[in-house]
Structure 1
Amino acid sequence: MTLQKAGTKVAYTITYLEMEQRPSYDWPHLPSGSTAALLKADKPPVWWFLSLYDAVGRDYAWEDIHKLEHPEIEAWLQKDVMSLYTLLDHGWPQGFFMLEDKPDGVCDLAYFGMVPEAVGRGLGSWLLQTAILTGWDRPDTRRMTVQTCTLDHPRALALYQKNGFTPVRREDKTRILTRDRDLTRIPT
């Protein structure tokens, strides 16, 4: 099956991961010849976040944020504990990450991903390492967390582990898709 239609019930597994200490690697260098720039958004508008969220997550059934009303999303985005970073290259967004400070010194990598057209260009590893080190540079960070699921990019879990996260818990769930999901667009 190459298309999962809206209304289809899908099973998936969420993996929760943690990192207890700053990794030993240094700040990464952009791939050779890259002209990419990472920009932090100051109080980003809802449409900007949603455009990134949909561009990165559409093929991976990122749908949860659409259950919220725009004022709820706006209030969440405007919190001082939230930081949205966008990777731009060739004049358009290549990917993004979002950090959220949680209680007890936890910095959560709330969102991370690359747009389909940017996958495989070497920027994903650079962006993830930059996100992790940015999280560790936040005041009071004592632990980082992230979660991924089996609906995400098939290499997401391995990439998080390669960069220092350790799985701490798994949870099986099901959901009803609210949009069609084209499985031919998901890399293997």
Structure 2
Amino acid sequence: MERSCTTYYLEMTSPSELKAKPQRDDLQVIECEVPQPALNRFLYQLVGTPWQWGDLDTWGDSDWQALVEQDCHRTWVAYHRGAIAGYYELYRPDGGNCEIRYFGLAPQFLGCGFGGALLSHAVRSAWEWHGTERLWVHTCTLDHPAALQNYQARGFRIFKQVEEPSR
């Protein structure tokens, strides 16, 4: 049975639009300043598998290396009590439009209240990255049911919506 999938494209055009959720003391978010393509692959699978992220499943080591080693790509990892709780990637190939390329929590940390704080961290990091003029992200109805709500609660606005049949 085919069901449709709606993809939402959201944006923020000023750092003042962030409606931040405070970061808990038991969540540490650290930038991975030394590119490690295998780590990004692991994080993508850890966070994305429950939502059937599959767009990078065919990527080999050289593809991951080509992405992660670019100056326009940055990765942060969130830790709770030593365990990876989630991560996000920022990607800004044109120097001004920054995408939250991937964002999410590890399955065992869903529903723990980390999503809003981690997304707030991502938004602040994007705006603190010198040169960012616009921040955007996309999500879809196949993602976590609270994803769209979290983006909107942090201040993102939908600027485009696309309906597609899904498999």
The alignment's TM-score, normalised by the length of structure 2, stands at 0.90
Query: Does 2:157 match 1:160?
Result: no
Deviations along 1:141-172, one digit per CA (max 9) or x if unpaired, are 11100000111001111110111111111112
1:1-150 maps to which residues of 2 (within 5 A)?
11-23=4-16, 29-31=22-24, 34-103=25-94, 105-150=96-141
Give, as a single letter, the amino acid of the residue that structure 2 aligns with 1:98: E
> How far, CA to CA, are the matches of 1:108 and 1:13 in structure 2?
19
> How far, CA to CA, are the matches of 1:169 and 1:156 in structure 2?
16
SS of the residue corresponding to residue 57 of structure 2 reads helix
- Would you say the 8 A contact 1:102–1:108 is kept in 2? no
Flag the 1:28–1:17 CA change in 2: closer, same or farther, 3 A: closer
Give, as a single letter, the amino acid of the residue that structure 1 aligns with 2:45: D
Flag the 1:35–1:20 CA change in 2: closer, same or farther, 3 A: same
- Would you say the 8 A contact 2:37–2:64 is kept in 1? yes
Give, as a single letter, the amino acid of the residue that structure 2 aligns with 1:60: W
Find runs of 4+ consecutive structure 1 residues off by over 4 angstroms: 24-28
Gaps of 5+ in 2: none
Flag the 1:26–1:18 CA change in 2: closer, same or farther, 3 A: closer
User: Identity over aligned residues, as a percent?
Assistant: 28
> How far, CA to CA, are the matches of 2:121 and 2:71 in structure 1?
20
Q: Could you say what the CA RMSD is over the residues aligned between the two structures, in angstroms? A: 2.0
Measure how far apart 1:25 and its partner are: 5.2
Aligned residues: 167
Measure how far apart 1:121 and its partner are: 1.7
> How far, CA to CA, are the matches of 1:19 and 1:124 in structure 2?
18
Deviations along 1:29-51, one digit per CA (max 9) or x if unpaired, are 432xx432211112432221121
Flag the 1:169–1:29 CA change in 2: closer, same or farther, 3 A: closer
Gaps of 5+ in 1: 1-7, 177-188
SS of the residue corresponding to residue 164 of structure 2 reads strand
